[in-house]
Amino acid sequence: MRAKASLAELKQRASNRTQLLGALVVIAGIMVAGNLLAEGKNAASDSANICLQTAADVLASCRSAAQSDYQNTLGKCINNTDPAARKSCEKQAASDLADAVQTCQGGFQVRQKACRRVGPSAYDPVIEPVNFTTVIDNPYFPLTPGTTYVYETKATGEKDTFEVTHNTRLIDGVTCVEVHDSVSVNGQVTEHTLDFHVQDKDGNVWYFGENTAELENGLIATIEGSFLAGVVNDKPGIIMKAKPAVGDFYRQEFSLGNAEDFAETLSLNETVIVPAGTFTNCLKSQERSPLEPDVVEDKFYAPGVGNVLEVDESTGDRTELVQIISK
């Protein structure tokens, strides 16, 4: 007759199973990411598609970062002298890795689909300072210094204050208008951002970067998403076309792995009702980023006003314009 395992042996077997589960999660994640990477490289190689090559490179970077974070966390876990705490830490690390790998995969798929829309060429817009002006009067995205737009998201209790300042900033040789965007919850600031916009002579409004910080208890928690055109090969994008048409698809910013929003114009005749009023003939834009592949936002822009509503497609949360203040 086989002897019964001791309590210590049972605990060790459970520990081994936990370690094996973690290892399997890691291996599965890396294999899937590797397959996607190979797919991207093969597609890029077959067609000399720079856009797909870029997507494949970012996937490789994302996967490496996820693996690096996992290994770093394991280094912290083994310094837990309590066996139960150590195993819990290792299990959480494996789960976080699986989530990170999934985000890498989703981001690659978003970029892959975007490449079919923007084309195979390199993204390298020609920036000539003489072709830009700080007078931003695009009907769907006017930025008049001294104007403040106040938005509220009832579901989260957030208040967003979007202030067009009289300040300018020279970025990549172009003088841009500085916008102060501040988000707060219950009076406490959770995000502070300086956005930089400029309009070209054709009427397109460009986004030349942002200096952003997320705050926790008044302290900076992260500055992820910050970028400036012309710094470490980051490039500007278009926030609003001069003559938008249904089907337009374009980059709004280009800071790989950091800020990569895409926008598509879906409609030009939407009616929007928000606390600030009723607006007709609004432009509806669908915006998404490979950095958050599961998030899709619909934004509505009213002629002569600008952004009046944002809707998160997955949650249904509405960020509504409640007031316009002019000084």
Say if residue 192's pLDDT is above 60. Answer: yes
Domain co-membership, 110 together with 133: no
Asked whether the beta carbons of 305 and 297 are under 8 A apart, the reply is no
In a domain, 313, yes or no: yes
Domain co-membership, 21 together with 110: yes
Kindly report, residue by residue over 138-182, the tens digit of the pLDDT: 999 999 999 999 999 999 999 999 999 999 999 999 999 999 999
Pure H helices in the chain: 7-47, 50-77, 83-118
- CB contact set of 8 (below 8 Å; sequence gap of 6+): none
Mean pLDDT, all residues of the chain: 90
Residue 41: per-residue pLDDT: 53
Confidence of residue 43 (pLDDT cuts 50, 70, 90): very low
Can you say whether the dihedral through the CA atoms of 92, 95, 99, 100 is positive or negative?
Answer: positive
Confidence of residue 217 (pLDDT cuts 50, 70, 90): confident
Asked whether the beta carbons of 147 and 136 are under 8 A apart, the reply is no
Domain co-membership, 103 together with 237: no
Closest CA to 223 of 210, 231, 214: 214
Kindly report, residue by residue over 252-309, the tens digit of the pLDDT: 999 999 999 999 999 999 999 999 999 999 999 999 999 999 999 999 999 999 999 9
Domain co-membership, 247 together with 301: yes
In a domain, 146, yes or no: yes
Domain co-membership, 190 together with 315: yes
Of the three residues 85, 118, 151, the one that is the final residue of a domain is 118
Domain co-membership, 179 together with 289: yes
Residue 35: per-residue pLDDT: 56
Domain co-membership, 184 together with 314: yes
Residue 48: per-residue pLDDT: 84
Domain co-membership, 177 together with 291: yes
Say if residue 17's pLDDT is above 70. Answer: no
In a domain, 124, yes or no: no
Domain co-membership, 100 together with 135: no
Distance separating alpha carbons of residues 280 and 306, to the nearest angstrom = 12
Say if residue 4's pLDDT is above 50. Answer: no
In a domain, 303, yes or no: yes
Higher-confidence residue: 299 or 45?
299
Domain co-membership, 105 together with 142: no
- CB contact set of 281 (below 8 Å; sequence gap of 6+): 268, 269, 270, 302, 303
Q: Range with the lowest mean pLDDT among 19-28, 121-130, 222-231?
A: 19-28
Asked whether the beta carbons of 99 and 33 are under 8 A apart, the reply is no
Residue 174: per-residue pLDDT: 98
SS3 call for 312: strand
Number of domains in the chain: 2
Closest CA to 156 of 198, 125, 193, 184: 184
Confidence of residue 2 (pLDDT cuts 50, 70, 90): very low
Domain co-membership, 62 together with 137: no
- CB contact set of 201 (below 8 Å; sequence gap of 6+): 131, 132, 133
For the purposes of burial, counting CB atoms within 10 Å of the CB of 188, is it exposed (0-12), middle (13-18) or buried (19 or more)?
A: exposed
Closest CA to 96 of 121, 130, 65: 65
Kindly report, residue by residue over 25-38, the tens digit of the pLDDT: 555 555 544 555 55
Confidence of residue 21 (pLDDT cuts 50, 70, 90): very low
Higher-confidence residue: 186 or 195?
195
In a domain, 193, yes or no: yes
Q: What CATH number is associated with residue 254?
A: 2.40.360
In a domain, 2, yes or no: no
Domain co-membership, 151 together with 47: no
Domain range for 278 is: 129-326
Distance separating alpha carbons of residues 280 and 300, to the nearest angstrom = 10
Of the three residues 91, 118, 145, the one that is the final residue of a domain is 118
- Arithmetic mean of pLDDT, 213-224: 92
In a domain, 1, yes or no: no
Distance separating alpha carbons of residues 265 and 249, to the nearest angstrom = 7
Answer whether 0.95 is exceeded by the pTM. no
In a domain, 240, yes or no: yes
Separation of first and last alpha carbons in the chain: 89
Closest CA to 166 of 307, 327, 303, 325: 327
Of the three residues 118, 143, 162, the one that is the final residue of a domain is 118
Residue 3: per-residue pLDDT: 43
